[in-house]
Amino acid sequence: MSLPLAATTPTEAPPHTGGLLLLIDGTPGLLTVAALGIALLLFLIIKVRLQPFVALLAVSIAVGLLAGLSVTELFGTVQRSDAVSTIESGMGGILGHVAIIIGLGTMLGAILEVSGGAEVLASRLLGLFGEKRAPLAMGLTGLIFGIPVFFDVGIFVLAPIVYAAAKRGGKSILLHCLPLLAGLSMTHAFLPPHPGPVAAAGLLHVDLGWVILMGVVCGVPAVLAAWAYSAWIGNRVFVAVPQDMVEAAAEARQAVIDEQRQQGVEPREEPVSLATVLGIIGTPLILILAATFSSIALDPSTGRSVIEFFGHPFVALTIALLLAYYLLGIRRGWSRKSLETVSTASLKPVGNILLVVGAGGIFGAVLKASGVAQALSDTFHDVGLPVLVLSYLISLVLRVAQGSATVAIVTTAGIVAPLLAEGHHSQAFVALVIMAISAGSIFASHVNDGGFWMVAKYFGITERDTLRTWTVLESVLSVAGFVVALVLSWFV
């Protein structure tokens, strides 16, 4: 079965009147605007070191004006309440869907983290697999615990467990940390409720159930390939356990405990049940998947409506969060004030992510309203590249150039959205395009990526060895995930 191409019938870009700058004419001019916009975005982020939200917003305004959008079309007007603002509709359209999911998922991850769920998960898996298979246990820990928590939080919480396992085994810490990092990175790139796939799903209008399903189907083979590479390189590059980081981790953990006590959260002696942790993590995934496929397998009925209600991402994640509040908090002696404090504190880092995602929505809306997106669609159609390949390559270039996976995802989704809107593609296929975008967004993590330095610092790896290990690991994850998505696209 042939791959769908990047677009359909070429059309003229919509005319605009009243624009501040009418410097372009037809498709060549619009393509020039697109190229200048991407170049300006990379310049502002890489050279000027401008915050990505501000850079995306500035580039969106510049592209809109250069492409002929009027000031009223871009910003609306105070005098005419019915005037449509491209910026407001672009930001509101994406955040209305994404903000709730990311917020609920972040609070869920915080409760699992503070309650000790990660330690229980890792220790039980280490006990189950034994010392010889400790790297596999660490990989599974990263894979499971990475679903509800951000990548950097997963490293912070699980690094001390990696230190302990590596010291007991007496081998290179790479054998234990790389499988963990592969699991954390895969879930961060491919699975909701993480910002990248959730933002792409909102921008490309795909049910999260399809994104979860394709994320698992593409991500699991990718992480298996990354684990195989981890075992190979871990036996060839020896990195000792960083003693200074062991001591620093102990101090940081004690500081967290002291802070929790100040907030009224007293650590309990009894550990969290592993079944409880797995049940809380798995509940929203199962409910969302059930709702997605009930629309395929069931005729309209009261039962189907009930399934779809409980499986809506907003409801499913709320249920999981309430379960975590009770099972990990209240039942273990937490006060309601403690739950509120932990939940509120977890949302502080989310603001930056939501603003970047919202700016990505603005960028996509401006591209569509100005006709730039259609010009890109027509050009990509003439090139003949399948949309899935094109999505991967665009995301990969943006990632390598400026380092942020989130910026790469939201920018690429804005560019390829019109390529998919006219092709009447299935939800399954568009979810695979999201997997290609996500795979491209993690390729070749290097010195312009904060994750690169976090890995090097926490696990005591030199910059040279981090490039040989972590950077290649991310590339293996990226290429393997993309290849699986490409193969699956032949059948959907």
Q: What is the pLDDT of residues 323-377, one digit of tens each?
A: 999 998 888 888 788 888 888 888 887 888 999 999 989 998 898 888 887 787 7
Look at residue 6 and tell me whether its pLDDT is greater than 80.
Answer: no
Q: Write out the E strands in 203-348.
A: none
Number of domains into which the chain is organized: 1
pLDDT in the model for residue 5: 45
- Encoding tokens for residue 84? 């449509």
Task: Look up tokens 């942020």; give the residue.
Answer: 404
Q: Is residue 283 part of a domain?
A: yes
The count of residues in the chain is 492
Which helix or strand (DSSP H or E) is residue 458 part of? helix 450-459
User: Rounded to whole angstroms, how far apart are CA atoms 445 and 423?
Assistant: 33
User: Rounded to whole angstroms, how far apart are CA atoms 274 and 278?
Assistant: 6
Model confidence, pTM: 0.87
pLDDT in the model for residue 413: 92
Look at residue 267 and tell me whether its pLDDT is greater than 60.
Answer: no
Q: Is residue 322 part of a domain?
A: yes
Q: Is residue 49 part of a domain?
A: no
pLDDT in the model for residue 254: 64
Q: Is residue 484 part of a domain?
A: no
Q: Is residue 196 part of a domain?
A: yes
104 burial (CB, 10 Å; 0-12 / 13-18 / 19+) is buried
Q: Is residue 48 part of a domain?
A: no
User: Rounded to whole angstroms, how far apart are CA atoms 71 and 17?
Assistant: 10
Look at residue 226 and tell me whether its pLDDT is greater than 70.
Answer: yes
User: Which pLDDT band holds residue 207 (cuts at 50, 70, 90)?
Assistant: very high
Q: Is residue 470 part of a domain?
A: no
Nearest C-alpha neighbor of 61 from the set 69, 52, 53? 69
Report how far apart, in Å, the C-alpha atoms of 476 and of each of 320, 351, 391 are: 33, 31, 18
Question: pLDDT exceeding 90 applies to what percent of the chain?
Answer: 50
Nearest C-alpha neighbor of 272 from the set 163, 104, 113, 107? 113
Q: Is residue 256 part of a domain?
A: yes
Nearest C-alpha neighbor of 310 from the set 338, 330, 286? 286
Give the range of the structural domain holding residue 283, as residue numbers without chain letter.
93-346
Helix and strand totals (H; E) in the chain: 23, 0
Angle CA(208)–CA(288)–CA(352) in degrees, nearest 5? 50
User: Rounded to whole angstroms, how far apart are CA atoms 102 and 196?
Assistant: 10
Name the residue type at position 375.
A
